Structure 1
Amino acid sequence: MRALAAARPLFSDLPSRLRSWLPPSSSSFKTFSASSSSPPSDSDLRNQSRGGLPRFFSDDLPSRKGGMVRVQGSEFWHMAKVLRLKAEDRVELFNGKGGLVEGCIQNIDKTGVDFVAQEDQKVILPQGIQWQVFAAFGTLKGGRADWLIEKCTELGASSVTPLLTERSSIISDNRVDRLERVSFAAAKQCQRLHQMVVSPAVKFNTLLDHISKSKLCLVATAEATPLLNAVQSSAKESSGLLIVGPEGDFTKKEVEMMLEAGGTAVGLGPHRLRVETATIALLATLVMWSDSQETD
Structure 2
Amino acid sequence: MNLILLYTSDFITPHRVQISGRRHQHMRSIHQAQAGETFRVGVLNGLLGEGTVETIGEHSLTLSVRFDRAPPTPLPLQLIMALPRPKMLKRTLETAATLGVKDLWLINSYRVDKSYWSTPLLRPDKIREHLLLGLEQAGDTRLPRIHLRKRFKPFVEDELPALARNTRALVAHPYQAAPCPAAQDRPTTLAIGPEGGFIPYEVEKLREAGLNTIHLGPRILRVETAVPVLLSRLFPLTF
2:79 counterpart residue number: 133
1:93-108 correspondence to structure 2 within 5 Å: 93-108=41-56
Assess if the C-alpha contact under 8 Å between 2:94 and 2:130 holds in 1.
Answer: yes
The alignment status of 1:148 with 2:127, answered yes or no, reads no
Q: Which runs of 5+ in 1 are unaligned?
A: 1-52
Change beyond 3 A, Cα 1:101–1:275: closer
Partner letter of residue 99 of structure 1? L
Q: How does 1:192-211 map to 2 (within 5 A)?
A: 192-204=140-152, 205-211=154-160
Which of 208, 212, 225 pairs up with 2:161?
212
Paired AA for residue 265 in structure 1 = T
How many residues are treated as equivalent by the alignment?
Answer: 227
Identity %: 22
Give 1:224's match in structure 2, choosing from 160, 168, 177. 177
Task: Determine which structure has more spread, i.e. the larger CA radius of gyration.
Answer: 1
1:255-277 Cα offsets, whole Å, 9 max, x none, are 22211112122122123333333
Report deviation, 1:72: 2.3
Give yes or no for contact 1:161–1:202 (8 Å, CA) kept in 2.
no
What amino acid does structure 2 have at the position aligned with 1:225?
A
Q: Does 1:191 align with 2:139?
A: yes
Q: For residue 166 of structure 1, what is the aligned residue in structure 2? A: 110
Distance, in Å, in 2 between the alignment partners of 1:114 and 1:271 is 50
What TM-score comes out, normalization by structure 1 length?
A: 0.65
Stretches of structure 2 that go unaligned for 5 or more consecutive residues are none
Match of 2:69 in 1: 122
Matches of 1:157 and 1:147, distance apart in 2: 14
CA distance in 1, matches of 2:39, 2:227: 34
Distance 1:123 1:154, change over 3 A: closer
Q: How far apart, CA to CA, are the structure 1 residues paired with 2:206 and 2:220? A: 21
Secondary structure, aligned partner of 1:83: coil
Q: Is residue 180–residue 198 contact of structure 1 (8 Å, CA) maintained in 2? A: no
Verify: 1:270 aligned to 2:214, yes or no: no
152-161 vs 246-255, greater mean Cα deviation: 152-161
- Asked if structure 1 preserves the Cα contact closer than 8 Å seen for 2:71 and 2:140, the reply is no
The CA distance in 2 between the partners of 1:146 and 1:271, in whole Å, is 24
- Measured after TM superposition, the shift of residue 81 of structure 1 is 4.1
Which SS does the other structure have where 2:195 is aligned? coil
CA–CA separation in structure 2 for the residues paired with 1:120 and 1:191: 14
SS at match of 1:223: coil
Deviates more, 1:172-181 or 1:246-255: 172-181
